[in-house]
Amino acid sequence: MISVTQAMRERRSARAYLSKPVPVDTIRDIIMIARRTASSSNMQPWRLSVMAGADLDRLRGAVRQSLAANPSAEGSEYRIYAANLKDPYNRRRIKCAEDLYGTIGIARENKMARLMQFARNFDFYGAPVGMILSIDRSMEQGQWADVGMFLQSILLLAHERGLATCPQAAWAAMHETVRAHLALPAEFIVFCGVSLGFADAAHPINGLVTERASFEEIAELRGFTNADTSATKVEAIG
């Protein structure tokens, strides 16, 4: 079994999957362990819906119908990105997109091809399992962080079991169709989707290793005796 450190170093977001099914016992095991995720005052403000087979196909079909009627989707119930995203965050976001499309040879000016690739979000990139993660809308910012930790637990536990994942904020923009399909109570906001399955290792899009900021950009060490912070070396995590 791999360590947490190894899982953090190795895990990537996969955007091409094999059709091989994922055993339901494996999924149940991942969720059972992810329940141990820390949350403020142990409130556990999340809800997870996991779909496969005919049920997942029905959601995919409903989404195709919705997009045919409204190609701009349904609009998210929450703001995924800041209205005026500043650097370095905007620069990192653009770099990630350019690197991603570059793996499959889609140039910046090919807007249609980029839109078609983005639309694959709503097919869960062909994964045999699709998840929808939601949060009680009465929660505040601290509990949204809790949901992020729950999501991270699922991603790492899946990797430990040889599975690939891709968290997808794009699903928040299909919240009406998702809510109808899942009969999701009104008090829950669709936070994101998650693709789950066995990665297609031969597909070039899965070869992307995104860059990470340097140690000095994101952290500082203070008050340490004999610590040479300028010489800190941390292995990059893709």
Query: 210-238, pLDDT tens digit by residue?
Result: 999 999 999 999 998 865 545 555 444 44
d(CA 175, CA 184): 10
User: Does an H or E element contain 177, and which?
Assistant: helix 175-182
What sign does the CA torsion over 20, 98, 147, 61 have? negative
Q: pLDDT, tens digit, for every residue of 99-154?
A: 999 999 999 999 999 999 999 999 999 999 999 999 999 999 999 999 999 999 99
Structural domains of the chain, count: 1
Q: Is residue 204 part of a domain?
A: yes
Q: Is residue 183 part of a domain?
A: yes
| Domain of 40, in residue numbers | 4-80+123-231
Q: Which residues are CB-neighbours of 70 under 8 A, at least 6 positions away?
A: none
d(CA 8, CA 156): 7
Q: Is residue 143 part of a domain?
A: yes
Q: Which residues are CB-neighbours of 107 under 8 A, at least 6 positions away?
A: 101, 113
Residue 192 near residue 151 (C-beta atoms within 8 A):
yes
Give this prediction's pTM: 0.91
